[in-house]
């Protein structure tokens, strides 16, 4: 992990150098904001795909509920397998990846914890020594970005110290707004039971704002800034993507996904054919060798002739066979 910390420190140093060149200030908080914007801009395609899948899920809820009703009360393995197959076929029909939302989280969380280590007051001199030289660089809007909101409140006190708690509060608010923008808006039958995957996604959407508040309260204030800016970025992105998805012609989308599926199936079939040809060559050579080494009882008298015919002219095995026949 020290390699990741060093790389992140170099990135923050580069951002600080650019900020100082333009504005003439050294500030870790400003560097974190710029770093977060750059990172989420780079991750835009990945987050965009995740949010499109989440938005499309709202549009296919009626079809998902129909599949659920079809197999309601059927708990045998065969029925469950058929229901899962139909559900996966429905996802493929609209080009939805239900588990696609996990990947952005797996990328952003390690970066967040790496950032926590880099801006820690005990480590900042090691990874960003240029920022450690300036005491004012640690302050952002009167708060020390290297310590927690609780520690800021104890150190500053009064109304200004209480403002430190705005960091986890804003993190919860913007995270909740982000999840609401990504949640399903299509009305479903109140009595219909959602599938287990939808329930898991709903639990995660309700849990994430609370988790973000806990992180931002117990970790350094700089992490809260990182989380808030990231949530704002995702909210803006969600508004744009929701408009794009709402304007999609679903029939046209299905046709596109059919073409993609056909292209994938064609590649898969070609790969299978190549593997079959390769395996046939291997098995044919093995079977031919075994037939020469184990001739049948009915054909013992002709086994020598068969072996002679199969030896390649000029090969080592051919010369060896000639010598063995001369000895006989």
Nearest to 215 by CA among 228, 233, 205: 228
> How much of the chain exceeds pLDDT 70, in percent?
68
C-alpha to C-alpha distance for 159 and 168, rounded to whole angstroms: 16
Q: Calculate mean pLDDT across residues 239-247.
A: 79
Q: Is the pTM of this model over 0.85?
A: no
Could you report the per-residue pLDDT of 212-240, keeping only the tens digit for each? 888 889 889 999 999 999 999 888 888 88
Tens of pLDDT, residue by residue over 29-68, are 999 999 999 988 888 887 777 777 766 776 777 777 788 8
Q: What is the average pLDDT across 131-160?
A: 87
**253-272: per-residue pLDDT in tens?**
666 766 666 666 667 667 76
pLDDT, tens digit, 9 for 90 and up, residues 307-319: 444 555 555 555 5
**Contact call for residues 285 and 310 (beta carbons, < 8 A):** no
> Residue 76 and residue 93: Cα distance in Å, rounded?
26
Q: Which two tokens stand for residue 286?
A: 């093995």
Which of 169, 156, 145 lies closest to 223, judged by CA?
Answer: 145
Residue, of 287 and 148, whose pLDDT is higher: 148
- Give me the pLDDT at residue 257, please: 67
Q: Does position 299 have pLDDT exceeding 90, yes or no?
A: no
Q: Answer for the pair 143, 163: CB distance below 8 angstroms, yes or no.
A: yes
- pLDDT classification of 166: cutoffs 50, 70, 90: very high
Distance CA 122, CA 235 (A): 34
Give the whole-angstrom CA distance, residue 49 versus residue 26.
36
Residues 111-121: what's their mean pLDDT? 86
């Amino acid at each position: 992990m020290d390699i990741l910390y060093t790389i992140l420190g170099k990135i923050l140093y580069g951002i600080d150098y650019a900020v100082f060149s333009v504005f003439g200030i050294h500030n870790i908080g400003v560097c974190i904001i710029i770093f977060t914007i750059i990172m989420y801009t780079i991750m835009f395609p990945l987050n965009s795909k995740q949010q499109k899948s989440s938005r499309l899920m709202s549009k296919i809820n009626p079809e998902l509920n129909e599949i659920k009703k079809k197999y309601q009360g059927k708990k045998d393995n065969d029925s469950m397998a058929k229901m899962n197959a139909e559900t996966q076929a429905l996802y493929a029909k609209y080009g939805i990846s239900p588990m696609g939302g996990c990947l952005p989280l797996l990328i952003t969380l390690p970066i967040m914890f790496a950032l926590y280590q880099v801006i820690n007051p005990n480590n900042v001199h090691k990874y960003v020594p240029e920022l450690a030289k300036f005491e004012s660089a640690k302050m952002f809007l009167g708060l020390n970005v290297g310590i927690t909101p609780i520690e800021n409140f104890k150190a500053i006190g009064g109304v200004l110290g209480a403002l430190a708690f705005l960091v986890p509060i804003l993190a919860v608010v913007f995270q909740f707004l982000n999840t609401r923008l990504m949640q399903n808006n299509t009305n479903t039958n109140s009595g219909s039971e959602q599938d287990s995957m939808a329930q898991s996604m709903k639990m995660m959407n309700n849990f994430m704002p609370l988790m973000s508040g806990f992180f931002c309260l117990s970790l350094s204030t700089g992490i809260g800034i990182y989380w808030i800016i990231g949530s704002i970025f995702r909210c803006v992105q969600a508004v744009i993507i929701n408009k794009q998805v709402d304007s999609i012609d679903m029939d046209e989308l299905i046709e596109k996904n059919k073409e993609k599926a056909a292209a994938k199936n064609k590649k898969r079939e070609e790969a299978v054919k190549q593997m079959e040809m390769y395996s046939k060559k291997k098995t044919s050579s093995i079977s031919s060798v075994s037939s020469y080494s184990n001739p049948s009882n009915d054909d013992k008298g002709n086994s020598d002739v068969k072996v002679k015919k199969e030896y390649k002219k000029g090969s080592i095995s051919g010369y060896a066979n000639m010598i063995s026949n001369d000895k006989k």
